[in-house]
Amino acid sequence: MAEPEFTATGVRIGKRLRSLTRAGQVRISDGRLELLTSYGSEIDSAPVQAVRASKPWFAPEDRALADVNGTRYSLTLGEHDPAPGKPGPPSARRFIEAVRRAAGRNG
């Protein structure tokens, strides 16, 4: 298995108004986006070309939306990328860029 193109841990993943996990994982690897619980069980996954990642309009900087298999998930990542060598989730902006890059879409 190849090295993941994007990995974020400690991510709050929600669906509508319900929180699914407060310390989940988001991973892009081998052309697939995976949303995982803190224990590593899969919440949802899809080919990255079928995923839509965006930034909600009136939300804090640490929020991103991911449409996976027709379900919209709210992701709370970091507001800023962590310092090199420090733990913490990457920024929402970096997640959105990683989805677009992995799908072959720019901007």
Domain span at 23? 4-103
Can you give the pTM of this predicted structure?
Answer: 0.85
Number of domains composing the chain = 1
**Per-residue pLDDT at 88 exceeds 70:** no
Backbone angles phi, psi at 105, to 5 degrees: -100, 145
Supply the pLDDT for residue 84: 72
pLDDT (tens digit per residue) in 47-63: 999 999 999 988 888 99
Return the CATH number at 86: 2.30.29.30
Find out whether 4 and 29 touch, Cβ atoms under 8 Å.
Answer: yes
pLDDT (tens digit per residue) in 15-27: 988 999 999 999 9
Residue 74: name the closest of 25, 18, 34 by CA.
Answer: 18
